[in-house]
Structure 1
């Protein structure tokens, strides 16, 4: 791992708390609390039955050796059967609860990702997002199954162990309980403190490797063009080596933690044997000695994985921090409105100012603009002038630092997001077509649309004939990003999806990007025909001459200047 990446990771680690993200994950899981609690209770009951079973089994074995009967075979069968049933039920419930809880985390993650994307957070690298959504979320199952459940079990076993052995000998009870507390609580805590950095490094290195691999796969054409295969492969190998080193450090930590826990258990067994022989500890009778020995072995088996889990706690807490980070919103995130959208669709920008960060110049500075309902305007300007920012503000993706924007005379900050976006349809310069059927791509704009509605939208976008010629029509499968269609056909399909929404306001942000001159003109002429009666805001670098517009504006120095009437 490069030193710059190490420094960035260290800075990130310092910013992250330990318990805050974990508590937020538990908050997301709260609707599964009854099922999670039931699983924990079943686990505790299974542990308790297992301890009783082992204690009684030890007494039975010793009694048979001495020629007496203390515990009947029937009692052991009852305890054994109960333990098997409880253990099976507990595994069923706890894993079902965990699967549901992780599904809740994924839904929460996606919702916040979508909200963050609208507020300017949607430009994270794909490999990092994939790592958070897959690896980090899956790592969180250890929080419940490897840490919470075993810790609850340890809290139950410790007093049971002490009380049961204290009935035989107090000194031995103190020694065994002390070793158990060390193996169940002290060593896992030390392992967690020592393993936090290593666990975080594994998560970070894994994410960096995914980023590198996806960058390489996505850019294969460019890599081949510039003959950079060797350099890119070496770059990925460096990240793979970094992940290997981090995993080896963690593996060594896990091995040390497991060995320390094992030694505690073996020391407890030695103490019981020493007491049975009267070596250094008060001598105890053979029958209770066998019961204590079986009980001790069973008790340490219940917490054998806690020290290893402690060493993995760093990965779990770091994974929690990376997952919940998607819910962090930037300072320019808009407020959530509570009012319905008004009937009118007049748009007004009143003294609007906006900058993306405090250390950058304002993109818009005291901008004023009136767009009456049904008017067709164009907003021109070079890259970075603020054209797309204008669309982001109107879509309530971000909020202005000064001034306000009204729709039908009402400040959009007070309007519910869903209601506002139901009035505004957006066709961006990078509209995405999903690797799904044409039907599914169209229904994204209006899930309740009928078959006739779909064909009407396709006819309006002048792409219906293309769809009819496909073997499966509306159910034809599009490749990733719509690669089975040409650029112009993909644009028209995206336009059909926008038209399907029936929104009275259309924002067309560089809608002909990537098209050749002839296809661009044909596409814009289609827009002229199918957007009649709607408010149209066309954002572009330049005009081709075929657009039908009521007004043309140009953004200059953050202000709106009329280009022509």
Structure 2
């Protein structure tokens, strides 16, 4: 549960809205208790009053109607404030999480599966954003109203007030405490089972073609069925714990009602209170336990929220792969140099083994070689996504480990085979490359990537909407849009990692020709396994056993 404290600053931003939500919740529940109490008193008093006696019907009737309106309005306000606060908190949580992850990508924990990461970015955040509304808020409201009801009972029936306070204390604090302890492990199991199910689904989708080709669909189906069964079992166990806690709470509510009735009858016989007042207090006691029911329902989910909070804290505080120096050096323009660079994700099996590379400013160098030979690793090291285990990488004679990552990423721009077309307009996709670019700069970048005519032909032009992953574009158009985005950046050094992946030979040759024309004057490092046409690069190097040789 200590993981919740880590997120305290995010909740504090919305303290005023959360306070209003709590106040409206208290007013709603208090109005409900008062409504039932007054109704019980009124009906009992009216029944006991003789026909000849005068009885003021209008005062209690007006009070009942007023309490009904108060309850309706406060309930509506509580829902509006509560949902608005939840959505604002959800936006803050997601923004904070992505901002925390940006400097930590790629994650140091290479064992973290894609499906598990997706689960943390979606389901875990969803589990955390309602902590206050479904658990903490109802518990505070129940404590306030339980204290008020115990005080009212103590004033009229002291013994009933004491017994009620004990019973409601167990319902508001005791039962939730036991449920929290019991559900912590269940919540962790449920979150992990949910992540495992997502992993199984994503693995099945990503590897669908391979599973069919190798006849392993039955294995994948069995794996998913096992994950689904574990998830269902975890949900059943947590649901059973919540149901038992709810049953205990209902038993405590019944005990409180019997206790008030017992001591109330004694008080009526002693003449201390009247029958109508006892009826009102009895119904008020029953109504006050409405709040405790919400507490149990919320606390049953607290174990899941706590597990989700711990998982989010773990990835948001993970050790970054690289860190900025305390006093970064300025980064000049100049030649790119790799000197005796050694690197491997597994230190025992380095991919690069004493690699040397020198790229003159403004020149174009191509690195060729089979997949897995280390070409992409060279570009990742240039962007300082990782630091080499030995050797140095410099730009303009300055070791890139001594400069700020922001300065380095302004100097080096990457177009990889996985560069995405994001859900949005063409303009929004281009502005990722340079946020302050005007329309003239956008059109120039599109023209350099030979995509301007296509965009001008669209009814909305730059405002044309492209689907998720660019599904409204052809593969070639999507690659050219990503190229335009890369060209739009003001980086002196452009790194291309398999930029023609997925293109046919004709489209590949046209793309490479356009890259040459569009990148004139900039330093270009192209990593590819494609057959390069004549003039595609000033120098072509081949990756062989972790080192570069002239091709």
TM-score above 0.5: yes
- After alignment, is 190-199 or 58-67 more displaced? 58-67
CA contact (8 A) 2:366 2:539 kept: yes
Aligned partners of 1:514, 1:226: CA distance in 2, in Å?
Answer: 23
Structure 2: tracts of 5 or more residues without a match? none
- Which residue of 10, 20, 24 corresponds with 1:42? 24
Which residue does 1:8 correspond to in 2? none
Tell me the distance in 1 between the aligned counterparts of 2:472 and 2:26. 56
Q: 2:5 aligns to what? A: 23
Q: Any idea what SS the aligned residue of 2:242 has?
A: helix
Deviations 1:310-348 (A, max 9, x none): 222222212223334441434523337776954534444
CA distance in structure 2 between the aligned counterparts of 1:349 and 1:69, rounded to whole angstroms: 98
The whole-number CA distance in structure 1 between the counterparts of 2:425 and 2:451 is: 15
User: Cα distance, 1:174 vs. partner?
Assistant: 2.0
1:220-235 matches, within 5 Å, as 220-235=208-223
Aligned to 1:344: 333
Question: Could you say if the C-alpha distance between residues 249 and 423 of structure 1 is closer, same or farther in structure 2, counting changes exceeding 3 Å?
Answer: same
State whether residues 120 and 397 of structure 1, in contact with CA within 8 Å, keep that contact through their aligned partners in structure 2.
no
Q: How does 1:355-394 map to 2 (within 5 A)?
A: 355-356=344-345, 360-364=348-352, 370-380=358-368, 383-394=371-382
Give the distance between the partners of 2:320 and 2:105, measured in 1 at CA. Answer: 14
Assess if the C-alpha contact under 8 Å between 1:125 and 1:211 holds in 2: yes
User: Which residue of 1 is the match for residue 383 of structure 2?
Assistant: 395
Equivalents in 1 of 2:418, 2:362: separation in Å?
25
Does structure 1 residue 319 correspond to structure 2 residue 312? no
Q: CA deviation at 1:299?
A: 1.7
Q: Name the SS for the 1:533 alignment partner.
A: coil
SS class of match (1:181):
helix
Kept after mapping to 2: 8 A contact 1:342/1:407:
yes
Matched, 1:94 2:77: no
Q: Which residue of 2 aligns with 1:461?
A: 449
Alpha-carbon spacing, 1:346–1:248, altered in 2? closer, same or farther (3 Å): same
1:294 to 283, 286, 300: 283
- What CA deviation, in whole Å up to 9, does each residue of 1:430-454 have, x standing for no partner? 2223355544433332344444433
Is 1:510 aligned to residue 493 of structure 2? no
**In the alignment, what sits opposite 2:195?**
207
Q: What value does the CA root-mean-square deviation take over the aligned residues?
A: 3.7
Tell me the distance in 1 between the aligned counterparts of 2:271 and 2:230: 55
Task: Say yes or no: does 1:528 pair with 2:511.
Answer: no
SS in 2 for 1:508: strand
Between stretches 426-435 and 299-308, larger displacement belongs to: 426-435
Matched, 1:563 2:546: no
Match of 1:446 in 2: 434
**Contact in 1 for aligned 2:134/2:297 (Cα 8 Å):** no
Does structure 1 retain, via aligned residues, the 8 Å contact 2:512–2:536? no
Deviation at 1:204, TM superposition (A): 2.9
1:167 aligns with 2:155: yes
Tell me how far apart the structure 1 counterparts of residues 391 and 271 of structure 2 sit (CA, whole Å). 85
Deviation at 1:353, TM superposition (A): 5.1
Deviation track 1:510-541 (CA, whole Å, cap 9, x = no partner) reads 32334445544443333222222111122245
Q: Give the deviation of 1:405 after TM superposition.
A: 4.4
Shift of the alpha carbon at 1:383?
4.7
Q: TM-score, normalised by structure 2?
A: 0.84
For residues 4-83 of structure 1, the aligned pairs below 5 Å read 18-20=1-3, 22-67=4-49, 72-73=59-60, 74-83=62-71
Shift in Å at residue 31 of structure 1? Answer: 1.8
1:420 pairs with 397, 408, 433, which one?
408
Write the mapping of 1:322-337 to structure 2, written as runs, cut at 5 A: 322-335=311-324
1:178-193 alignment, distance < 5 Å: 178-193=166-181
Tell me whether 1:112 sits opposite 2:100 in the alignment: yes
User: Any idea what the Cα deviations from partners look like across 1:130-161, whole Å, max 9, x if unmatched?
Assistant: 43344332222431111111111122123323
Change (3 A) 1:277 1:369: same
- C-alpha change, 1:141 and 1:536, in structure 2 (3 Å) is closer
Displacement of 1:505 = 0.8
CA distance in 2, matches of 1:256, 1:540: 62
Query: Residues of 1 paired with 2:321 and 2:131: CA distance?
Result: 34
Select between 469-478 and 384-393 the one with higher mean Cα deviation: 469-478
| 1:479-529 superposed Cα distances (whole Å, 9 cap, x missing partner) | 553455554444333222211223211011232334445544443333222
Residues 11-61 of structure 1, C-alpha deviations (whole Å, 9 max, x = no match): xxxxxxx322x2233332332222222322333344445545554554444
Q: Which of 258, 262, 287 is 2:246 aligned to?
A: 258
CA distance in 2, matches of 1:192, 1:386: 50
**Judging changes above 3 Å, is the alpha-carbon distance between structure 1 residues 132 and 29 closer, same or farther for their aligned structure 2 residues?**
same
Q: Deviations over 1:74-114 (max 9, x none)?
A: 55555554444333323322221112111211222333344
The answer as to whether partners of 1:113 and 1:122 remain within 8 angstroms in 2 is no
* TM value normalised by structure 1: 0.82
